[in-house]
């Protein structure tokens, strides 16, 4: 069980890195001041990613403190799923505007 | 796919576990010095003890609220009211601890080239002390810069509080948050 958690945590760290790289790429391709509405949506995306990052950080801290409960294990699954969804959708959007 | 659809989609994913995020934020607040900080006044008193300036308290409350509420309402930054004060205090603490949008740092870098940072600093100083001054409305573009700027301010803050009279457990907690946030910044370098 411990090995499974460690593996999942590693997966989560990589997902978090991918998330950051995705938002970095999005920042590169976003045209600021094109329209205030677009800038607003852009910041909403940034905020959503920041919230997810905070959620992931909480999990990583729980792991470091060896406080992985069954509830945290469920959080890991949720965070992984959300991270993958985020990355897939951000990259899909980037592809459409390139 | 439009940027609007992307934003809505990500918000939808967040809603799936937004309750968990809120709970963890409150847990974090409760672990802050071992006290539950549930009002603006308590929050201010705690900040005063820690030697935190009024400006920094205010900006953290504003951005803490805005960032967390941002997934639900992008206009929170300009429409916040005293009725949200309790939530703002809780979220402000969360912002202190590094949940604030580190992902917005690349935005700051990009906007820096537009020489708008000074304008943001001016706006920060104009925000009122215990509530959001509705006369100081930020344009949507400025709000993005504001949040990014606050991310940097919070980094400075978390450094100062980690070296203040905080309890050891608080210092450890902030230290761990900073470590993970710094990891993210390294990805972006």
How many domains in chain A?
1
ipTM: 0.85
Whether B140 and A92 lie within 8 Å, measured CB to CB: no
CB B62 within 8 A of CB B112: no
Domain that holds residue A45: 2-97
B127: which DSSP letter? Answer: S
Rounded to a whole number of angstroms, the distance from the CA of A11 to the nearest CA of chain B is 15
A48–B71: do the CB atoms touch at under 8 Å?
yes
> Helices H, strands E: what count in chain B?
10, 0
Half-sphere exposure (Cβ direction) of A29: Cα atoms closer than 13 Å:
15
Complete DSSP assignment for B153-172:
HHHHHHHHHHTTT--HHHHH
Q: What's the whole-model pTM score?
A: 0.52
- Helix intervals (H) in A1-97: 2-29, 36-64, 70-97
Q: What is the pLDDT of residues B52-101, one digit of tens each?
A: 555 445 444 444 444 333 322 222 233 333 223 333 333 443 443 333 33
Please, what is the average pLDDT of chain A?
A: 78
| Closest chain A residue to the Cα of B182, Cα to Cα | A57
Chain B CA closest to residue A45 = B7
Q: Tell me what pLDDT residue B81 has.
A: 31
Contacts of B131 (CB under 8 A, 6+ apart): B80, B81, B82, B85
Whether pLDDT at A76 is above 80:
yes
CB atoms within 10 A of CB B9: 20
């Amino acid at each position: 069980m411990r090995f499974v958690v460690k593996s999942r945590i590693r997966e989560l760290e990589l997902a978090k890195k991918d998330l950051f790289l995705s938002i970095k790429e999005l920042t590169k391709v976003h045209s600021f001041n094109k329209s205030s509405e677009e800038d607003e949506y852009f910041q909403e995306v940034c905020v959503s990613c920041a919230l997810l990052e905070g959620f992931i950080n909480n999990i990583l801290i729980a792991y470091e403190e060896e406080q992985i409960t069954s509830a945290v294990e469920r959080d890991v699954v949720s965070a992984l799923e959300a991270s993958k969804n985020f990355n897939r959708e951000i990259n899909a959007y980037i592809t459409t505007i390139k | 796919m439009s940027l609007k659809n992307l934003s809505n989609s990500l918000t939808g994913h967040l809603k799936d576990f937004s309750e968990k995020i809120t709970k963890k934020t409150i847990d974090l607040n409760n672990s802050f010095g071992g006290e539950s900080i549930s009002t603006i006044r308590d929050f201010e008193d705690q900040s005063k003890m820690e030697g935190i300036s009024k400006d920094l308290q205010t900006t953290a409350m504003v951005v803490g609220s805005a960032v967390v509420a941002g997934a639900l309402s992008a206009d929170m930054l300009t429409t916040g009211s005293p009725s949200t004060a309790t939530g703002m205090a809780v979220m402000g603490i969360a912002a202190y601890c590094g949940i604030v949008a580190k992902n917005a740092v690349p935005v700051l870098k990009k906007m820096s080239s537009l020489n708008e940072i000074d304008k943001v600093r001016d706006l920060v100083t104009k925000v009122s002390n215990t509530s959001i001054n509705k006369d100081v409305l930020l344009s949507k573009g400025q709000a993005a810069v504001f949040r990014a700027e606050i991310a940097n301010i919070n980094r400075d803050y978390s450094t100062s509080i980690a070296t203040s009279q905080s309890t050891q457990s608080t210092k450890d907690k902030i230290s761990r948050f900073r470590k993970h946030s710094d990891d993210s910044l390294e990805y972006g370098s």
